[in-house]
Amino acid sequence: MSALPLSRMRSITWTVLAWSGAVLYPGFLFVTVSNGHGGFEGLEVLISAALTVLVAGLLLRRPVAAHAILALAWTAALMEMPNGAVAGLYLLLTDLGAGYIAATRRRRVSVPVAVLTGFLQVAAVASFMFPSGVFFLTVVLAMLVTWMAGDALRVRWAHAEAMRAQATARAVADERLRIARELHDMVAHSIGIIAIQAGVGGRVIDTQPAEARNALDAIEATSRETLTGLRRMLTALRKDDPAPLGSTPGLDGLDRLAEATRDAGVTVVIRTEGERRPLPPDVDLSAYRIVQEAVTNVVRHAGADECRVTIGYRDGELDVEVADDGRGGVVGTGYGLVGMRERVALLRGEFAAGPRPEGGFRVAARIPLAGR
């Protein structure tokens, strides 16, 4: 049987000491105030203070029980020594105990505790003196203010905890969406290319073996590239640190994208406007993924032989446009357009997609660069 951890042993020791002090506390306090020397002198004061600290420590774990012990012990002490000093300590300690319960427990617990404590305070003080109405009002207000302060702290802590929980849930949701977008953009394009190449190879395998072999080579290259990307992504997800999901492609990879798309039967014409310059990594990745997804849609849905990709480097923004002369595509279905729109929205940009008046389909994004 393994030994208890040091932290566990410390916790057990502290609990035993605290409850031992709680059991001894009422009796020792009563003896202290009735020792015949006016009370609170010499060693009795030190021991009483130490036991008070131990009992107060129980407030951290058993606040209601610790508060009841404090209240009963000091009520008995006040009955034995009815003077102003004992009454002041009694009111102070019980008010603080009720305030702590208000800060750490719900109102259905703290309100009855505060009411009973206040009633006990008034009854205990009234038993040995005849205070004025102002004094009684002061005692009640002190308890009310202490309870309200504790309850306000509880509400503030609860609100802060709720905000932290919401922030955590939002971060998890954002990360899930990010992973979903990366998986979709990485896999959808490759699977689309593979499906088309497989269809081409199946149709010409008997009549054009060389063409079928080219299709198989393209399928192998595309599948290997996709498998490598998935492995990088899974490796990044297994790490403890929030590392990027594998490699981060950018607009420099558009030529390779165009080559793979050309093997699938669609020619991609790339045009650059403005002076080409380095982009922030998130903008570079998003621009590439937008082009990749738009080109994939052209391959899968447009029925066009060509599409045009325009990258515009403007002052303070990047323009991305993918247009074709095909059947016009399908708006509002699947995750491709949703993912593109989300990427642009995260970068505070503008996104538009829809059929062109002259025929075909157009995807356009405007991503701001200023202030990034």
62 backbone dihedrals φ, ψ, rounded to 5°: -125, 70
Residue 369 predicted with pLDDT over 90: no
- pLDDT at position 152 is 92
Kindly report which listed range (63-77, 142-156, 181-195) carries the lowest average pLDDT score: 181-195
* pTM: predicted TM-score of the whole model, two decimal places: 0.50
Distance CA 294, CA 287 (A): 11
pLDDT at 137 over 50: yes
Query: Residue 37: pLDDT above 60?
Result: no
Percent of the chain with pLDDT over 70: 72
pLDDT beyond 50 at 31: yes
> Is pLDDT at 4 greater than 70 in this prediction?
no
pLDDT score at 147: 92
Least confident of 19-28, 175-184, 216-225: 19-28
Quick one: average pLDDT of 64-76? 78
Least confident span in 53-57, 104-108, 285-289: 53-57
Between 193 and 35, the more confident residue is 193
Q: What's the mean pLDDT in 49-62?
A: 65
The per-residue pLDDT for 60 is 66
CA distances from 17 to 27, 66, 73, 207, 351 (A): 16, 13, 18, 91, 67
Residue 274's identity, in one-letter code, is: G
The mean per-residue pLDDT over the stretch 217-231 comes to 74
In this prediction, residue 36 carries a pLDDT of 45
pLDDT of residue 1: 44
Rounded average pLDDT over 271-278? 87
Residue 30 is predicted with a pLDDT of: 65
Band (pLDDT 50/70/90 cuts) for residue 320 is very high
Between 176 and 271, residue with greater pLDDT: 271
Domains in the chain: ranges and CATH:
6-131 (no CATH), 252-372 (3.30.565.10)
CB proximity list for 274: less than 8 A, separation 6 or greater: 312, 313, 314
Higher pLDDT, 5 or 251: 251
Nearest 5°: the CA angle 185, 190, 196 is 130
Over residues 7-22, the mean pLDDT reads 62
Model confidence band, residue 6 (pLDDT cutoffs 50, 70, 90):
low
Mean pLDDT of the chain: 76
At 171 the three-state DSSP class reads helix
Amino acid at 88: G
